[in-house]
Structure 1
Amino acid sequence: MIYKGDLVHCPQLGRMEILHDHIIAVNDIGFITHVAPADTPESVQLLRGSQYQSIPKGSFLFPAFYDLHLHAPQFLYQGSGLHLPLMEWLNEYAFKAEEKIDADPVLARTVYRRLAYRLLEQGTGGVVLFGTIKEETNLILAEVMQDSGIRAYVGKLSMDISSRKTYVEPSAMASLEAAFSFVERCNALTIHLPVHDRLIEPILTPRFVPTCSDELLTGLGHFSNERNVRIQSHMAESFDQVTWVKEERGIDDMDVFDKHGLLTPRTIQAHCTFLDPPSLAHVAEHGTSIAHCPLSNAYFSALPFRLREALDNGVKVGLGTDIAGGYSIDIMVAMRQAVAVSRMREGSRVMAHTEGRQVEDKQRNLSIEWKEALYLATGGGAAAMGLHPGAGTFQVGAPFDAQQIRLSHGGLRSSVGPLDLFDLGEGEDKNGEGSETWKLNLEHVEKWWCLGDVRNRITVWVQGRERWPF
């Protein structure tokens, strides 16, 4: 398929490109084969005699989002129960919901199909999912994501310790056997498909250190290393969790994961709000990625994540919604929260320095800007997930995971959804007419970033196939 119009992407942290009137060609297996201005000889030749889809003025193509941390069964009670500390919240809400989903496969399929609908509606083309402890329920989750056309790492929870007696695996050995079995059965779901159509992948998922014995963690580490299987968990998330691990294990949970071979380039760790700069440098040395979930951190962590320090230390960072610890499944909310939290951290640093209080780094600006957040939601998230090179950007050889965004119908008087475009753009007359000369600019994209919602999203593609409207 060939698309002609404006493209916007973030090829690297802090850099955004607006590519006016470009051609992007996608082959039959969903990879980009051509990106260039429409008036180049190659583009002209490509268009000659070919059908193509025109992206109208006032619209642009942007890469799909990647959500690095979401608890699929907790979608059942999204937007409720956020008044408790983490460890109490798990007992009162999370474990109960997950147990309920495990007991009812019809409910599981219903919830997961709705989850897939919402993800695509919000422009999310790839997601890293925590599931439940029951194999069959997680296979339902994997089937639904594959059928819906969403890239998904699906994790069957491993937990042989639990504060809820009815929601726990009977032993470390039983947990390991179930994890190994799930990996095999999940891979078997797509083995008959061409490689480019295999959108789901199993991921080993020790819930977090408080729910996993040393024996279980050791076994998962060995299996991941032998079979090259990805890993996800929570690390250094909240004060009560960090304190519990230190008292029970005598070391920090980062050291627990490291000790058992679970801090690897295949690993995604969520939150990490209690990691100081030296610890973040240690994470970077291991090639481990971090899922930054600013909204849920505001509810469940006593500290904000040191995002700027993580990026400066070379840590691969993407964004996560952390449903249901975060109440919004929209990665755009995560982006906005990430910027807001970083600006508050910078304000605190400035005030501490002004008042003569000790700060970790007197010179480093701790805030990030909106263009950096866009990178984290796209190319940064894809890199953290270890996806195909170039994923999250528009470059030759990358998978075409994209969304079409509409800001207006070509004139300022016809803005879409929550956007109001009052400034006169290039070529506009005072009545907001002149659709043929409407030109997308940086301010238009920023306004979408700040205010846009589902009304601005027209289409979503994953691996070159149209997945939304659902």
Structure 2
Amino acid sequence: MTSILIKHAQIVTMDDNDTLLTGDVLVHSDRIVAIAERIDETADQVIDAAGKLLLPGFVQTHIHLCQTLFRGRADDMELLDWLKERIWPLEAAHDEESVYYSALLGIGELIRSGTTTILDMETVHHTASAFRAIEESGIRAIAGKVMMDHGTEVPARLQERTEQSLQESVDLLEAWHGKANGRIGYAFSPRFVISCTEELLLGVRDLSRQYRVKVHTHAAENRGEIALVERERGMRNVVYLDHLGLASPDLILAHCVWLDETEKEIIRTRGVKVTHCPGSNLKLASGIAEVPDLRERQIAVGLGADGAPCNNTLDMFQEMRLTALIQKPEQGPTAMDARTVLRMATRGGAEVLGLQEQIGSIEPGKKADLILLDLEEFHSYPAYDVDPYSRIVYSAGRSDVDTVMIDGRLVMQGKRLLTLDKTSVLREADRSIRRLLGKG
């Protein structure tokens, strides 16, 4: 059992009382065992964090690692054209190697910017390659293969048979769920209603209950998407999912930009979770989700960057800043304050994933998923008597992340990645996208 003692940090705990203190944190194996102003125990490794902020690692509740290779190849488009003209053809071209390096490229960016846990939706094929990248990198992840057995404008290679899609998902779940000391989990991932038959969605409902895992899908992201669902299924997205018995505390819905009153109440009463993706929603011109209203209804809302081709960055600092700012013109300056937003990025994300007893705050007994920020920079000063939540959400950036620990293991220290070979990943990612585009 290894131990790490972090000394002299400014600790932002995100516990029930939002405790702030300057002191020490002791980690044994994968767990936090003590927090105090001073800890005198010996440890295998001591980190002097004087002048640095220690906080829980960020939790992103909607990511597409398989799309990281497509960054910059689908700019300035709206959702349905973005999918049909660019993303689906590129996903259809993926092979085992390209999914692996796409995942590593995304994970490297996520770790460098302080994200320690993700909910990831892959593509139809080669999801085991993404799980391999997740396992090797040390990131905490719940992931699943995307499921698509319906639609007329889908590339042939992405069109699945219903039973095949369900069986492949179960096979992946049984191979990966709970691996790496429980760091890896599985979620059934039907893409969205217009890509799935009713038979598939009912199968997902039954299997998620059988295996007691999450269901991760998109809903109410775009008005064109909603019109298609209404035309095909005779009701709106969330109403339809509730009609099928999928609306439950295990359902996680990405985006939820265009919910009506009935859908909001279904989400509230059924305990459905929501992921807010402001960068993606703005870039795809989808709209601005009514996050303050959802939170007033006691709906759990997490944050996610979505995929690199609809955001171009997987940076949680950008998502936090956008989450705070975009509501203020309509809802007022206090609508989304910095402390609320940081909670969404940490403990709130853990709640969305059902991991709130494990991660999301710095407390004894919880997993040691921690990040150190070095804010000794021009852009984050003066520091005297400035609210730390303000410094993190409004001033800090990904370049300020100094050290990242996941499951008690240092995966980055002194801004140097310890589990990934940056030069190799960048080279192989470029080689992979050249191959997919038929350029080499």
Range into which the TM-score falls when normalised by the shorter chain: 0.7 to 0.9
Amino acid of the residue matched to residue 167 of structure 1? Answer: R
> By how many angstroms is 1:235 displaced?
0.8
Report the Cα distance in structure 2 between the residues aligned to 1:220 and 1:259, rounded to whole angstroms: 14
Report the Cα distance in structure 1 between the residues aligned to 2:176 and 2:96, rounded to whole angstroms: 17
In structure 2, the partner of 1:428 is none
1:333 is the counterpart of 2:318: yes
Shift of the 255–49 alpha-carbon distance from structure 1 to 2, 3 Å rule, reads: closer
Amino acid of the residue matched to residue 170 of structure 2? Answer: F
In structure 1, the partner of 2:25 is 24
> By how many angstroms is 1:219 displaced?
0.9
Shift of the 278–249 alpha-carbon distance from structure 1 to 2, 3 Å rule, reads: closer
Shift of the 34–160 alpha-carbon distance from structure 1 to 2, 3 Å rule, reads: same
Match of 2:243 among 259, 268, 274: 259
Contact between 1:26 and 1:400, CA under 8 Å: does it hold in 2?
A: yes
Amino acid of the residue matched to residue 68 of structure 1? Answer: T
In structure 2, the partner of 1:447 is 391
Match of 1:132 among 123, 126, 132: 123
In structure 1, the partner of 2:114 is 123
Partner SS for 2:177: helix
In structure 2, the partner of 1:35 is 35
1:3 is the counterpart of 2:6: yes
Report the Cα distance in structure 2 between the residues aligned to 1:312 and 1:389, rounded to whole angstroms: 23
Shift of the 255–32 alpha-carbon distance from structure 1 to 2, 3 Å rule, reads: same
Report the Cα distance in structure 2 between the residues aligned to 1:172 and 1:141, rounded to whole angstroms: 22
Shift of the 133–289 alpha-carbon distance from structure 1 to 2, 3 Å rule, reads: same
Partner SS for 1:262: coil
1:283-302 alignment, distance < 5 Å: 283-300=267-284, 302=286
Relative to structure 2, which stretch is displaced further, 371-380 or 70-79?
70-79
> By how many angstroms is 1:248 displaced?
1.1
Amino acid of the residue matched to residue 4 of structure 1? Answer: K
> By how many angstroms is 1:54 displaced?
4.5
Q: Which digits, 9 at most, give the CA deviation of each residue in 1:327-377, with x for residues without a partner?
A: 221011001111111113315xxxxxxxxxxxxxxxxx8821111111100
Report the Cα distance in structure 2 between the residues aligned to 1:261 and 1:399, rounded to whole angstroms: 33
Report the Cα distance in structure 1 between the residues aligned to 2:341 and 2:246, rounded to whole angstroms: 27
Report the Cα distance in structure 1 between the residues aligned to 2:382 and 2:253, rounded to whole angstroms: 43
Report the Cα distance in structure 1 between the residues aligned to 2:187 and 2:44, rounded to whole angstroms: 40
Contact between 2:91 and 2:123, CA under 8 Å: does it hold in 1?
A: yes
1:186 is the counterpart of 2:176: yes
Relative to structure 2, which stretch is displaced further, 372-381 or 390-399?
390-399
Report the Cα distance in structure 2 between the residues aligned to 1:279 and 1:404, rounded to whole angstroms: 39
In structure 2, the partner of 1:223 is 207
Report the Cα distance in structure 2 between the residues aligned to 1:256 and 1:227, rounded to whole angstroms: 23
1:190-201 alignment, distance < 5 Å: 190=179, 197-201=181-185
Contact between 1:10 and 1:371, CA under 8 Å: does it hold in 2?
A: no
> By how many angstroms is 1:239 displaced?
0.4
TM-score by length of 1: 0.82
Amino acid of the residue matched to residue 328 of structure 1? Answer: T
Q: Which digits, 9 at most, give the CA deviation of each residue in 1:122-151, with x for residues without a partner?
A: 1110011111111xx111101111111111
Shift of the 458–170 alpha-carbon distance from structure 1 to 2, 3 Å rule, reads: closer
Amino acid of the residue matched to residue 161 of structure 1? Answer: H
1:245 is the counterpart of 2:229: yes
Contact between 2:54 and 2:370, CA under 8 Å: does it hold in 1?
A: yes
1:63-212 alignment, distance < 5 Å: 63-101=56-94, 104-134=95-125, 137-162=126-151, 163-187=153-177, 190=179, 197-212=181-196
In structure 2, the partner of 1:357 is none
> By how many angstroms is 1:297 displaced?
1.2
Partner SS for 1:10: coil
Amino acid of the residue matched to residue 410 of structure 2? Answer: E
Contact between 1:308 and 1:366, CA under 8 Å: does it hold in 2?
A: no
Partner SS for 1:328: coil
In structure 2, the partner of 1:437 is none
Contact between 1:388 and 1:399, CA under 8 Å: does it hold in 2?
A: no
In structure 1, the partner of 2:430 is none
Q: Which digits, 9 at most, give the CA deviation of each residue in 1:394-421, with x for residues without a partner?
A: 111111111111112xxxxxx3xx5252
Report the Cα distance in structure 1 between the residues aligned to 2:399 and 2:158, rounded to whole angstroms: 42
Report the Cα distance in structure 1 between the residues aligned to 2:196 and 2:42, rounded to whole angstroms: 61
Shift of the 48–212 alpha-carbon distance from structure 1 to 2, 3 Å rule, reads: closer
Partner SS for 2:11: strand
Contact between 2:65 and 2:103, CA under 8 Å: does it hold in 1?
A: yes
> By how many angstroms is 1:455 displaced?
2.8
Partner SS for 1:261: coil
> By how many angstroms is 1:388 displaced?
4.8
Report the Cα distance in structure 2 between the residues aligned to 1:2 and 1:166, rounded to whole angstroms: 53
Report the Cα distance in structure 2 between the residues aligned to 1:231 and 1:422, rounded to whole angstroms: 44
Report the Cα distance in structure 2 between the residues aligned to 1:321 and 1:9, rounded to whole angstroms: 23
Report the Cα distance in structure 2 between the residues aligned to 1:291 and 1:452, rounded to whole angstroms: 23
Over 6 Å off, 4+ runs: none
Report the Cα distance in structure 2 between the residues aligned to 1:219 and 1:51, rounded to whole angstroms: 49
> By how many angstroms is 1:202 displaced?
1.5
Shift of the 460–313 alpha-carbon distance from structure 1 to 2, 3 Å rule, reads: same
Unaligned runs of 5+ in 2: 418-440
Contact between 2:317 and 2:398, CA under 8 Å: does it hold in 1?
A: no
Relative to structure 2, which stretch is displaced further, 171-180 or 232-241?
171-180
Report the Cα distance in structure 1 between the residues aligned to 2:96 and 2:42, rounded to whole angstroms: 50
Partner SS for 1:234: strand
Report the Cα distance in structure 2 between the residues aligned to 1:70 and 1:48, rounded to whole angstroms: 39
Q: Which digits, 9 at most, give the CA deviation of each residue in 1:191-230, with x for residues without a partner?
A: xx5xxx2311121000000000111111111111122121
